[in-house]
Amino acid sequence: MEAALCAVDGVFLAGGNSYLLLWHARRSGFAELASPRVEAGELLYVGTSAGAMVAGPDLAPAANLDNRREAPELESSLALGLVPFTVLPHDQDPEAREIHDAIVDANPAVPFCRLADGRAVLVRGDTAEVVDSPVVA
C-alpha cells in the first residue's frame, strides 16, 4: 500500500457501504498511510458518496445511511478525519433529504455537509467551499 500511494498524486474512493469502505481502508493500511500524505498536501483525495463520508471524522452520526452489519470486523466508526465534517450525500433525493433531516436533528453538535449529486465540497487547508461539479462535454 505504501508503494502504491507513493506512486500516485491522488486517490479516488467511490461509493457503496461506508462502513465496508472504511473497513477495507483500515485493513489495507490505506487509512494510516493516506491521511498524513493528504494532510501534507502530497496526495489528492477525492471521494464520492461513501468515499466522501469516510473522509470525515466519524461515520456514527450518519449511521442509519448504511448497514453497519456489512462490516462486522470494523472495530470503530472513526473515519479518516481528513475534514472536520460528515458528508451527507445525495441530498437532492427527497427520501435521502428526509433521512438527512433526521440525522442533523439528532446530532445538533455535529457539523454536516449536505451534498446533492453534481455538487462537491472543495477543501483547501482550513477552507471548505461547496461548488458545482464541472460539466464535461
Give the structural domain span for 56: 2-132
Report pTM: 0.90
pLDDT-derived band at 133, boundaries 50, 70, 90: confident
Total domains, the chain? 1
Q: Answer yes or no: is 106 within a domain.
A: yes
> Buried (b) or exposed (e) across 49-73, using 16+ Cβ within 10 A?
bbbbbbbbbbbebbbebbebeebee
CA distance 34 to 43: 7
Q: Answer yes or no: is 137 within a domain.
A: no
Q: Answer yes or no: is 64 within a domain.
A: yes
User: Higher confidence at residue 10 or residue 136?
Assistant: 10
Whether residue 72 has pLDDT greater than 90:
no
Q: Which of 18, 35, 90, 100 is catalytic?
A: 90
For residue 20, give the CATH number of its domain.
3.40.50.880
Q: Is there a catalytic annotation at residue 90?
A: yes
Q: Which of 49, 76, 77, 133 is catalytic?
A: 49
